Amino acid sequence: MKKIPIGISSCLLGENVRFDGGNKHNAYITGTLGEYFEFLPFCPEVAIGLGIPRPTIHLIKTDNQLRCVGVKDATLDVTDRLRNYALAQKTAQAHLSGYIFKKDSPSCGVERVKVYTHNQPHREGVGIYAQQIMANNPLLPVEEEGRLGDAGLRENFIQRVYVYHRWQTLLQEGLTVQKLTHFHARHKLIIMSHGNYQPLGQLLSTATQENLTQIADDYIVQLMTILKKVVTRGQHVNVLQHIQGYLKKELGADDKAELGEIFERYRNGELPLIVPITLLKHHFRKTPDPYIEDSFYMSPYPQELNLINQL
Exposed (0-12), middle (13-18) or buried (19+): which is 76, by Cβ within 10 Å? middle
More confident residue, 63 or 52: 52
- Judge contact between 296 and 309, C-beta under 8 A: no
Question: Which of 196, 77, 161, 85 lies closest to 130 in space, CA to CA?
Answer: 85
- Which residues are paired to 60 by β-bridges? 67, 116
Please give the mean pLDDT across all residues of the chain: 96
Of the pLDDT bands very low, low, confident and very high (cuts 50, 70, 90), residue 187 is very high
Residue 1 in this model has a pLDDT that exceeds 80: no
CA gap 132, 99 in Å, rounded? 13
What would the pLDDT profile of 10-21 be if each residue is shown by its tens digit?
999 999 999 999
Question: Which of 102, 89, 11 lies closest to 48 in space, CA to CA?
Answer: 89
Residue 245 in this model has a pLDDT that exceeds 90: yes
Does the CA dihedral 122-127-133-139 come out positive or negative? negative
- Rounded to an integer, the average pLDDT of 196-200 is 93
pLDDT of residue 229: 96
- Rounded to an integer, the average pLDDT of 178-183 is 98
pLDDT of residue 192: 97
Cα distances (angstroms) measured from residue 306 to each of 76, 164, 192, 240, 256 = 45, 20, 22, 19, 26
Instruction: Assess whether the previous peptide bond of 53 is cis (omega < 30° from 0).
Output: yes
- Judge contact between 197 and 297, C-beta under 8 A: no
- Which residues are paired to 65 by β-bridges? 62
User: Could you give phi then psi for residue 56, rounded to 5 degrees?
Assistant: -70, 150
pLDDT of residue 306: 87
Percent of the chain beyond pLDDT 90?
95
pLDDT of residue 305: 92
pLDDT of residue 166: 98
Contacts for 298-302 with beta carbons within 8 Å, 24 or more apart? Answer: 298/243, 300/159, 300/162, 300/163, 300/190, 301/36, 301/158, 301/159, 301/162, 302/1, 302/36
Question: Which of 239, 237, 238, 259 lies closest to 248 in space, CA to CA?
Answer: 259
Of the pLDDT bands very low, low, confident and very high (cuts 50, 70, 90), residue 185 is very high
DSSP string, 230-276: PPPHHHHHHHHHHHHGGGTTT--HHHHHHHHHHHHHHHTTSS-THHH
- Rounded to an integer, the average pLDDT of 189-218 is 96
Q: How many CB atoms lie within 10 A of CB 35?
A: 11
HSE (side-chain half, CA atoms, 13 Å) at 204? 20
What would the pLDDT profile of 131-172 be if each residue is shown by its tens digit?
999 999 999 999 999 999 999 999 999 999 999 999 999 999
Residue 208 in this model has a pLDDT that exceeds 80: yes
Question: Which of 14, 126, 133, 147 lies closest to 59 in space, CA to CA?
Answer: 126
Residue 114 in this model has a pLDDT that exceeds 90: yes
Q: Look up residue 282 and give its amino acid.
A: H
Helix extents (H) in 12-69 = 27-30, 44-47
- Rounded to an integer, the average pLDDT of 191-202 is 95
- Rounded to an integer, the average pLDDT of 36-41 is 98
